[in-house]
């Protein structure tokens, strides 16, 4: 297929008179096993194969005496006829020729600077991959007829292998193999006023049975508490603790706003040298943090040695004790900002905090466990969501509560932020498992 596309590109260049200054071709093949369970019955089994080529053409020009580079990306498949490929490439060349973006150079051949861990899925046979994960996910379920009887209501399990071949006209060429497991699960329990449920999901690159069992086990314990929860009261001036995915989103706000793309586009108010934890220069920072851009974190499927431009990634310190030291992100934006190229990292990590989880919890607070849909807007820093389960610590009791919502802005409250010493894997990071903020608005359910 690669040869067909390269030949078609040559044909289109000759026929249309527009020459691609450079090009990039990414070929992706994947296979996926899917299992869908209702309770512990198999609702459906599926097997999926996918194949796709993504071609980007770059066409150089000039505007106002400056060199420009336009680009267009198209997807092609082995089933495309030569006529279809020719037509799509001709359109892409024309579209790229009319974009007059500032010029930037593509990366050439470069050795990987980080090594990805080999997945344990690689050596397992086809039937055991999904089965090992299924057993681990269902392991914490201990069925009984007594209330609250927490159990898994529904579970979806996917295990996929994706092989990628990257090549560009500057000589960059590499192959990657990604194993990705993903499970979405709903747990339920019976309360006095009827059944309640909680949703969660987990992505993984290894058949790490202990991690999978811990994920469903934690939610089964939580849903038991939701069944006994009382409506969230009106609570004023109470610090809140965000945990797990929501804590990760708070840290991601700092990492995302420190990217070359968001700063070039003026979406981010950050600049090099700013203390990202201060909402004004006079505010004092409670718990200075370090943030690293990471290419690989064991267990996370998005680990990658190269970014989408084919630039090799090497672990980079982005924020040191609260101060923005280095920008990571797309290399073109780095060039346009006059910054060194670091590449766009898929993952990040955050240094451990000054307080243990127990210390964070031992003062009156609202500890938020699950939301209907926690939202954090990257540009504004506004966040919030409806509470499905939280624990209200009133100084003596830790009371499960449900309903109501919280809202706040990490941009405004960032200097109050303290975080846990304990760290854990998130969806795209290794970061403290909990973050405590003061000044978040709490809307009660009553």
Restricted to residues 27-66, the positions that interact with another protein (CB under 8 A) are 32, 34-36, 38, 40-52
What's the closest the beta carbon of residue 314 comes to another protein, in angstroms? 26
Per CB under 8 A, the list member of 105, 141, 197, 314 interacting with another protein is: 197
Per CB under 8 A, the list member of 108, 171, 269, 298 interacting with another protein is: 269
Which one, of 261, 289, 263, lies nearest residue 275 by Cα? 289
* Positions in 271-290 near another protein (CB under 8 A): 279-280
Residue (57 or 357) nearer to another protein, CB: 57
Per CB under 8 A, the list member of 26, 137, 186, 433 interacting with another protein is: 186
Which one, of 133, 127, 131, 122, lies nearest residue 178 by Cα? 122
Per CB under 8 A, the list member of 94, 213, 326, 354 interacting with another protein is: 94
Helix (H, G, I), strand (E, B) or coil at 108: coil
As a whole number of angstroms, the distance between CA 115 and CA 174 comes to 13
Question: Which residues are registered as beta bridge partners of 319?
Answer: 291, 324
What's the closest the beta carbon of residue 226 comes to another protein, in angstroms? 9
Residue 370 · residue 388 · CB < 8 Å:
yes
As a whole number of angstroms, the distance between CA 66 and CA 259 comes to 25
As a whole number of angstroms, the distance between CA 68 and CA 62 comes to 5
Question: Which residues are registered as beta bridge partners of 231?
Answer: 402
Describe the chain by its helix, strand, coil percentages, rounded to 5: 25, 40, 35
In eight-state DSSP terms, residue 205 is: S
User: Using CB under 8 A as the criterion, what x/- string covers residues 307-346 for binding another protein?
Assistant: -----------------------------x----------
What's the closest the beta carbon of residue 357 comes to another protein, in angstroms? 26
Residue 206 · residue 159 · CB < 8 Å:
no
Neighbouring C-beta atoms of residue 83, cutoff 10 Å: 9
What's the closest the beta carbon of residue 283 comes to another protein, in angstroms? 11
Binding flag, residue 74, another protein (CB under 8 A) = yes
What's the closest the beta carbon of residue 380 comes to another protein, in angstroms? 5
- Which residues lie below 8 Å from residue 88, measured CB to CB, with a gap of 6+? 74, 76, 80
Binding flag, residue 99, another protein (CB under 8 A) = yes
User: Using CB under 8 A as the criterion, what x/- string covers residues 149-178 for binding another protein?
Assistant: ----xx------------------------
What's the closest the beta carbon of residue 264 comes to another protein, in angstroms? 7
Per CB under 8 A, the list member of 89, 92, 132, 431 interacting with another protein is: 92
Binding flag, residue 101, another protein (CB under 8 A) = yes
The region of 260-268, 307-315, 339-347, 348-356 touching another protein under the rule CB under 8 A is 260-268
Binding flag, residue 128, another protein (CB under 8 A) = no
**Interaxial angle between packed helices 2-16 and 82-98, expressed in degrees from 0 to 180 and rounded to the nearest 10:** 60
Binding flag, residue 116, another protein (CB under 8 A) = no
Residue 310 · residue 168 · CB < 8 Å:
yes
- Which residues lie below 8 Å from residue 424, measured CB to CB, with a gap of 6+? 244, 430, 431, 433
Q: Which two tokens stand for residue 207?
A: 């058949």
Buried b (16+ CB within 10 A) or exposed e, 405-416: bbebbbbbbbbb
Q: Which two tokens stand for residue 147?
A: 């209330």
The region of 110-118, 184-192, 291-299, 354-362 touching another protein under the rule CB under 8 A is 184-192
Q: Which two tokens stand for residue 186?
A: 């709903």
Per CB under 8 A, the list member of 62, 63, 67, 75 interacting with another protein is: 75
The region of 13-21, 87-95, 287-295, 415-423 touching another protein under the rule CB under 8 A is 87-95
The region of 13-21, 69-77, 213-221, 350-358 touching another protein under the rule CB under 8 A is 69-77
Residue (186 or 350) nearer to another protein, CB: 186
Which one, of 212, 142, 236, lies nearest residue 440 by Cα? 236
Residue (310 or 408) nearer to another protein, CB: 408
* Positions in 370-409 near another protein (CB under 8 A): 371-373, 375, 377, 379-382, 384-386, 388, 403-407
* Positions in 214-243 near another protein (CB under 8 A): 234
Per CB under 8 A, the list member of 188, 248, 249, 367 interacting with another protein is: 188
In eight-state DSSP terms, residue 131 is: H
What's the closest the beta carbon of residue 111 comes to another protein, in angstroms? 30
- Which residues lie below 8 Å from residue 99, measured CB to CB, with a gap of 6+? 59, 68, 70, 71, 72
Binding flag, residue 107, another protein (CB under 8 A) = no
Binding flag, residue 425, another protein (CB under 8 A) = no
CA 190 from chain centre, in angstroms, equals: 33
């Amino acid at each position: 297929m690669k040869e067909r596309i390269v030949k078609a590109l040559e044909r289109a260049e000759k026929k249309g008179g527009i020459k691609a200054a450079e090009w990039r071709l990414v070929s992706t093949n994947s296979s996926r096993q899917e299992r869908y369970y209702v309770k512990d019955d198999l609702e459906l089994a599926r097997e999926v194969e996918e194949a796709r080529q993504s071609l980007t053409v770059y066409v150089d020009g000039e505007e106002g005496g400056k060199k420009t580079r336009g680009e267009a990306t198209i997807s092609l498949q082995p089933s495309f006829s030569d006529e279809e490929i020719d037509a799509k490439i001709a359109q892409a060349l024309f579209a790229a020729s009319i974009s007059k973006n500032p010029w930037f150079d593509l990366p050439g051949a470069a050795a990987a600077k980080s090594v990805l861990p080999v997945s344990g899925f690689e050596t397992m046979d086809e039937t055991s991959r999904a089965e090992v994960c299924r057993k681990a996910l269902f392991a914490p379920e201990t069925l009984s007829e007594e209330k609250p009887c927490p159990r898994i209501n529904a579970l979806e399990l996917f295990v996929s292998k994706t092989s990628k071949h990257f090549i560009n006209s500057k000589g960059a060429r590499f192959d990657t193999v990604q194993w990705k497991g993903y499970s979405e699960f709903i747990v339920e329990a019976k309360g006095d006023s009827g059944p309640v449920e909680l949703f969660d999901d987990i992505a993984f690159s290894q058949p790490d049975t202990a991690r999978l069992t811990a994920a469903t086990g934690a939610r089964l314990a939580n849903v038991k508490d939701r069944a006994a929860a009382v409506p969230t009261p009106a609570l004023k001036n109470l610090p809140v603790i965000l945990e797990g995915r929501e804590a990760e989103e708070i840290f991601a706000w700092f990492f995302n706003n420190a990217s070359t793309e968001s700063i070039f586009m003026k979406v981010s108010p950050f600049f090099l040298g700013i203390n990202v934890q201060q909402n004004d220069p006079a505010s004092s920072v409670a718990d200075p943090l370090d943030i690293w851009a990471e290419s690989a974190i064991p267990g996370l499927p998005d680990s990658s040695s190269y970014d989408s431009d084919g630039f090799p990634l090497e672990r980079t310190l982005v924020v040191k004790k609260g101060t923005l030291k280095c920008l990571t992100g797309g290399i073109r934006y780095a060039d346009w900002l006059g910054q060194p190229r670091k590449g766009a990292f898929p993952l990040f990590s955050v240094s451990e905090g000054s307080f243990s989880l127990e210390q964070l919890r031992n003062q009156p607070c609202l500890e938020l466990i699950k939301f209907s849909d926690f939202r954090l807007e990257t540009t504004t820093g506004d966040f919030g969501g409806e509470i499905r389960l939280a624990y209200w610590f009133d100084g003596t009791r830790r009371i499960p509560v449900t309903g109501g919502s919280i809202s706040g802005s990490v941009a405004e409250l960032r200097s109050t932020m303290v975080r846990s010493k304990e760290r854990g894997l998130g969806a795209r990071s290794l970061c403290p498992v909990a973050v405590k903020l003061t000044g978040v608005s709490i809307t009660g359910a009553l």
